[in-house]
Structure 1
């Protein structure tokens, strides 16, 4: 990346590194070149003293005629040569000092070689001779005078050389200071530039991105990063802007979806309210024009449609009749309505069609929903659509659902009517069976006895025989009257109180009062529900059994118990402590037991008679409530009702 922050900061660090290395290298180089200057200056300073010492040695010999002075002078000259050409001075000269240093040194060296040293050598050579001629003495003095005359200028040149060395050393130190100052200034400048870049290229963009992130966190996706440079943070800003744009789109889409879901939920709630209201109206009241008009008004209020109409007919019929409508009666005549039946009914599916508006050239759009349940169509639900209105899918489904609820209500009403007819036929069948099993048999017996009586009278038989027949007639009449009274009591109890437990409690109390025998009654029916016919059969079986206890058992105590478990299994037991039975097969032919057995079979159960260990008789009846509701007799009645 051309303007990468990493590259920029790497460049700054590299520059700082270069400046640091440059400072260290320049310090090392200057320190290296300045090394030995102090020794050279010290060495050059000794040359001045050495020159004066040589001069002092010359003067001392001449004044005091000291022969040892010549030796000392020679030593001083040798030492001077060593000092002048020592490595301390030549090491400095080899490092390329300033030109003044080199020039002054060469001037000192040339003066020494050309002026000072020749005079000293001549002086030393002559002074070492034992006897000197006058000319030689003159030359000796001349050499001494020449040295002494030149020594001050020579020392000045040495002083210039020393001063040049000091100046050159100071210049090198000054160069080092300048380089250090320049490098420190550059380092400070680079640091300032790096701080500026950090602030403008890092901190400010980061603050801007942080502010944008906080705004986005609080749901404001309209913010955008202002820093879009060609670096990492610029790319991050661009990425944030793209992300904010995408989040804005996603958030807007989510808001739209939430609004849509909210709208859908509101529609669902209104639809459920309509369905609940329609279902409640249809279930709480019988199906009538008023109820259906109220349902139509609910539909109009929810969907915003105009007038609604419900037409009903018989399943399979191609005509339907207007049963309820919010339209005025004079909108369409019945003939006109009948002529549109095929258009309204269609093919048994929801559809939209048009009819001419009365008194204008316009047409009205009408939506038709079939009133259908279990593949049987009872009619149609019609709603008029406002101009340019098109029903949505949920509205069509809602109308179809309401229409199906109306069909279900019609079907339930028919089922209730059918159940009432079935109950009526069952009641009639029960009454006929009871009359046949009791009074009809007694009447047949009376008919036979009347025939015997007529025959006896016609044949003028013995009065005793006629009285026997008359007694039999009276006994049969009493039995028939008793059976009739019991039947009336049973049906009267059925009408006045529908609770089987109370009915049986009253029956037990009746027999207990009639016979004076204590009869225990144990009721454990619980919430078991019996059909009316099953209740009658149970009551008649118990009445017949208690009647046998009173008339034939010679019992002192009896017990009636009823039990019903969670599976609907019923167990009824009638027990006494009487004389018991000798032959169950013989007993089943007497005491009304065949009728009791027939009633047990009608209940789908089984009747058994047994003798407990302590004596007496126990009659057990076992059946299931489900079997009692689905016996062959009831199925036969249902088939008769369907075909009758």
Structure 2
């Protein structure tokens, strides 16, 4: 643990200020204490003068009292008063000897005063008091004895006066020192105030003013200003920090234009990268062929990086070939030689095999290898891969005739562009597969529809033709008359089936709601069959995607076709409820059928099977309910969780 040196501690500003204030306080308290002490001593000396002066009065009273002892009538009263005066003088001397700090009362500690008091006390104890006590004890006192006592009392009073004068002289001296200490206190107050102001000015105000002046010059962009660092306190540290800040600001300001240029160039480069990414992403999302898409992609990156040529190759994983899909700026001989290359061949094929992005400096390639791109004058060739969902789809090249070093940011940008192109190519392939599956499924439904209608009708006509041929061979012309109307009816029914199938296959959902499409289908059904068709719909839900709407319309058309062929109905009602879940029901009042018989047919009843497949496509369930003579109901239920947003 580091500890500050004593010199560093004493050089701190807080130490200086606090130390100066405490020093000033200590001196002030000392002077004030001395003044108070002198005042206290003067007060005690004044009380001592008064008490000492009372000795004279008490001595004179004692003399007068002893003079009264000469009169027999006043002798007893004088004796009593004399004893009291002796006690008063004894108490006064005792009080002067010990003093009274609470009053205060004490003799000054002067040798002259102490010596005078000692002689005075001795004279009283050895001369006056014994003589006075003797006189008070006598029955009769002679005037001569009283006069002798008064002579001794006068001497004692003179000694008391001398002691009082000595105390007064000492008080005068102490008063002089008291005035001197008061003047000293006043002088110290003025000098201390000036000293504190000077100290604070030097320690705080002057450095703050210097720092403020430096900041003002700094505000005026005078970065050459510096502060003196000759102090060792906090302001010295501030001055050092200020100078360091000034050095840094001066350096920054001197290089400001260069920094701004660098930042501007960096921002422009980032903006160009973002513009390339945005333009490429928008272009790759357009519906177009793979060749056109790759050609536009290659044109954008060659212009951005200033490449002299480039190519896009797709990978055939089954055969391990790299096919050149598009190229730009490459010589015809190079294009012909590398139109199809094996994975692992040449530098590009090796990069594909290792699945790494490579930038080749052709100057460092061994000339003995005789690479075609090297012979064509290219100095730098880069290889970057096309990925989609971690699947390697191909690669693209950039060819430079001059030496070109790609930075880490450039390589990251090209890798990102390769992923964008890979995603676009994969989307094209997925779209083609989806269309292929849709065509296959639709062909399956067409085949089922033909089997359900045309095939059965043609089978019936084939049987009727065989019967007609047999009747003609046996010349049973009566049977011929019966068979010909059936043939005509069969042909007419097959013709109507063909028309209905063609109509269903050509059905397209117009830019309208599902309700309008269903109403149009019911109106056409009513015109063609003469069967009353009613639509009851209350659509409150969100709109369906067009694929789901088309499947729902096909299901209703198939149900109406079954009504026309088999139900012999007078009325058909379509009920649509679009609330939490979607329900659709087609009900007729025809002959109906036995559900067990329908279940026994299984998938041979192609119409119901087609409706179930279309319902499964949109995640719905289909139910067929009927009874002989009670009509039939085809109901569809689509849960809210299975419903896709439009």
Q: Which band: TM-score by shorter chain?
A: 0.5 to 0.7
Give the conservation status (yes or no) of the 8 Å contact 1:588–1:594.
Answer: no
Q: Residue in 1 aligned with 2:59?
A: none
CA shift at 1:364, angstroms? 3.3
Q: 1:94 to 1:306 in 2, by over 3 A?
A: farther
Q: Residue in 2 aligned with 1:253?
A: none
How far apart in 2 are the matches of 1:545 and 1:352?
A: 68
CA shift at 1:391, angstroms? 4.2
Alpha-carbon displacement from aligned partner over 1:202-231 (angstroms, at most 9, x marks no partner): 443455678889999999999987576455
Give the conservation status (yes or no) of the 8 Å contact 2:615–2:622.
Answer: no
1:90 pairs with 162, 180, 192, which one? 162
How far apart in 1 are the matches of 2:331 and 2:548?
A: 46
Q: 1:513 to 1:83 in 2, by over 3 A?
A: same
CA shift at 1:380, angstroms? 1.0
Q: Residue in 2 aligned with 1:352?
A: 359
Q: Residue in 1 aligned with 2:196?
A: 194
TM-score using structure 1 length = 0.61
Q: Residue in 2 aligned with 1:513?
A: 527
3-state SS of paired residue (1:284): coil
Give the conservation status (yes or no) of the 8 Å contact 2:534–2:573.
Answer: yes
Q: Residue in 1 aligned with 2:560?
A: 543
3-state SS of paired residue (1:465): helix
Q: Residue in 2 aligned with 1:64?
A: none
Q: Residue in 2 aligned with 1:451?
A: 466
CA shift at 1:289, angstroms? 4.9
Larger deviation: 499-508 or 408-417? 499-508
2:421 pairs with 406, 429, 451, which one? 406
3-state SS of paired residue (1:493): coil
Give the conservation status (yes or no) of the 8 Å contact 1:321–1:338.
Answer: yes
3-state SS of paired residue (2:450): helix
3-state SS of paired residue (2:585): strand
CA RMSD of aligned residues (A): 5.8
3-state SS of paired residue (2:560): helix
Q: Residue in 2 aligned with 1:282?
A: 284
Larger Rg: 1
How is 1:453-532 mapped onto 2 (pairs within 5 angstroms)? Answer: 453-460=468-475, 462-494=476-508, 504-522=518-536, 526-530=543-547
CA shift at 1:405, angstroms? 1.6
Q: Residue in 2 aligned with 1:382?
A: 397
How far apart in 2 are the matches of 1:213 and 1:30?
A: 60
Q: 1:280 to 1:237 in 2, by over 3 A?
A: closer
Unaligned runs of 5+ in 2: 1-12, 53-145, 252-258, 342-346, 364-371
Larger deviation: 270-279 or 84-93? 84-93
Q: 1:78 to 1:199 in 2, by over 3 A?
A: same
Q: Residue in 1 aligned with 2:19?
A: 7
How far apart in 2 are the matches of 1:438 and 1:518?
A: 23
How far apart in 2 are the matches of 1:289 and 1:471?
A: 60
Aligned length: 512
Q: 1:450 to 1:180 in 2, by over 3 A?
A: closer
How is 1:226-625 mapped onto 2 (pairs within 5 angstroms)? Answer: 229-230=231-232, 271-289=273-291, 291-299=293-301, 308-329=310-331, 332-335=334-337, 340-355=347-362, 364-383=379-398, 391-460=406-475, 462-494=476-508, 504-522=518-536, 526-530=543-547, 534=551, 538-548=555-565, 555-563=569-577, 571-578=583-590, 585=597, 595-597=607-609, 599-600=611-612, 603-604=615-616, 610=625, 616-622=630-636
How far apart in 2 are the matches of 1:421 and 1:625?
A: 28
Q: 1:626 to 1:88 in 2, by over 3 A?
A: closer
CA shift at 1:547, angstroms? 0.7
How far apart in 2 are the matches of 1:17 and 1:594?
A: 120
How far apart in 2 are the matches of 1:172 and 1:422?
A: 126
Unaligned runs of 5+ in 1: 41-73, 98-167, 250-256, 630-644
